Structure 1
Amino acid sequence: MSPALFDLFLASIVETAVMVGLSGAVSFVVGLPLALLLVATDRGGIWEKPLINRGVGAVVNAFRSIPFIILLVALLPFTRFIVGTTIGTAAAIVPLTVAATPYFARIAEVSLREVDRGLIEAVKAMGGTRWQIVREVLVPEALPGIVSGFTVTLVTLIGASAMAGAVGAGGLGDLAIRYGYQRFEVVVMLSVIVALIVMVSAVQSGGDLIARRLDRRR
């Protein structure tokens, strides 16, 4: 690999990390409240609102059912409206975030539903408010599972960011297509594959470690 290509390779790693990091952060900030809303408004929840639950659930399911490559193209006008362009790293963050948020919301919802109902009822019996139940019981008890789910979301985002390279999103996917595939640079393609494997392994290992430590503290 030439020095110029190597520099481009390093820049692509940074672009992929930025895309995954920012879209992952936004999906966590938006997805966790969505998961809490789905759990709280369900039948038997702490704020039972079946109509709201069905409405939010329908929207989440609708976005989850769309394959990422189709969502990527369908959101081009929205992406242009938000960031002013449809190519590059900034443009890729928009569809990545839209795809990851409902995905993470459903994963976090599963962890929140596994919280012992007895703990929730105990806080209710002591006069705890809904917010106290969320803050003192639901989130702390489900946190290891939430972290594990977020780790899976980040791993999925790494793969999706590479797929976004097909439409000029930048990052390792774009590098693999432009140089590894179109210019038959085998070394570039192999380097991209190794980089993606390392990134996924690092994220998975880090997430598993954090989840285990949180689980021991409960």
Structure 2
Amino acid sequence: MSDVKTILAFGDSLTWGADPVSGGRHRFEDRWPSVLEAGLEGSARVIAEGLGGRTTMFDDHGAAADRNGARILPTLLGSHYPLDLLIIMLGTNDLKPHLCGTVSGAGSGIERLAEIARAYPYGRDSAVLQVLIVAPPLFDEAVGGDWQPVGGSSIAESQKLAPRYREAAASCGGAFFDAAAVAVASPVDGVHLDAANTRAIGQALVPVVRQLLGLG
């Protein structure tokens, strides 16, 4: 049986690797799940499941794809089973005014995702899946005609995500990491990350994941 661990990185456009300058996608090697896997040096593989606009548990009926994280997570847990660690970095899109707009909703959504991960009917001999909740980087003022972050979300609400997520992690028995400690949003749109800040998240998570999975 392989000793290589399997990690599911569940997120939105920040996990997908959205480039605020080009409007496209960062190179594969610059996306944080890729950087994390490289830093783990063969001891784990990281499955990147990022979708632009994804929320914790809120519907966005104007989107072409299902962005409700709580609805799609059970499918992903089943299709990628067995897993050793689930990393969740969501909440940025919850703060869009037309979807939720508050950290209270995002916090409840994160707790729901952790609950889904814990309660999923894995195989009989499966260990309990570990969960790492990551608070996304803070919103910042965007340059240009409109100073607000793209989507009209509140900078002040984004500043409340980390303490709320830390609380959620403690209540569900999961681990917590604040991506705002290592990454800042691009001034192009006040939300997305340039390549350097995207890589910084993956690099910072390496020792966190090593400790959680006992990789030394």
Higher helix share: 1
Larger Cα-atom Rg = 1
Higher strand share: 2
TM class by smaller structure: 0.3 to 0.5
Q: TM-score, normalised by structure 2?
A: 0.34
Q: TM-score, normalised by structure 1?
A: 0.34
